[in-house]
């Protein structure tokens, strides 16, 4: 009776390990970027908790206040996002649209990089209505 070899060869094992290592590198690069994105999203949601007494009846000053508060919240969360990437626009009394548009480039291997393009827009209901 002839017995056949079973199992993985050295080449098969090396190829499997290479695929696993590349997958782990991808995960290590992608996960922090998405954690940062969800932190930006929660920072925008935190704007809804600003006391009504801090707002005026002037929409432009309220928009500036919202932008300043968001920049401060992002700073607290250790997110370096330039204020130019944040847009606050007045929609109707007590409703503002906050848009954050930014890109993140993460180096992967050699001349290969990952580009993440985020465009987050949310309505925030604040202040006196």
Characterize the bridge pairing of strands 112-125 and 95-109.
antiparallel
Q: Please indicate, yes or no, if residue 73 is contained in any of the structural domains.
A: yes
pLDDT of residue 111: 92
State the chain's maximal CA–CA distance in angstroms.
92
pTM exceeds cut of 0.85? no
pLDDT of residue 128: 56
Write out the residue range of the structural domain in which residue 86 sits: 10-125
Q: Please indicate, yes or no, if residue 3 is contained in any of the structural domains.
A: no
| Nearest Cα residue to 45 out of 125, 128, 127, 117 | 125
Number of domains in the chain: 1
Q: Please indicate, yes or no, if residue 50 is contained in any of the structural domains.
A: yes
E-only strand ranges, the chain: 86-92, 95-109, 112-125
Q: Please indicate, yes or no, if residue 4 is contained in any of the structural domains.
A: no
pLDDT averaged per 10 residues in sequence order, the chain, 129 residues: 78 94 94 96 91 86 92 93 93 92 92 95 79
Q: Please indicate, yes or no, if residue 5 is contained in any of the structural domains.
A: no
Phi, psi angles (nearest 5°) of residue 50: -70, 135
Cα separation, 110 vs 129, whole angstroms: 54
Structure tokens at 65: 């206040």
């Amino acid at each position: 009776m002839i017995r056949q070899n079973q199992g993985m060869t050295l080449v098969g094992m090396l190829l499997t390990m290479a695929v696993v290592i590349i997958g782990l590198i991808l995960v290590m690069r992608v996960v922090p970027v998405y954690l940062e994105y969800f932190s930006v999203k929660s920072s925008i949601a935190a704007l809804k908790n600003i006391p009504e007494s801090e707002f005026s009846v002037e929409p432009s000053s309220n928009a500036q206040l919202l932008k300043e508060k968001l920049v401060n919240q992002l700073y607290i969360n250790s997110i370096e996002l330039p204020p130019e990437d944040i847009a606050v626009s007045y929609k109707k009394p007590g409703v503002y649209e906050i848009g954050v548009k930014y890109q993140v480039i993460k180096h992967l291997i050699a001349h290969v990089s990952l580009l993440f393009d985020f465009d987050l827009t949310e309505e925030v209901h604040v202040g006196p209505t």
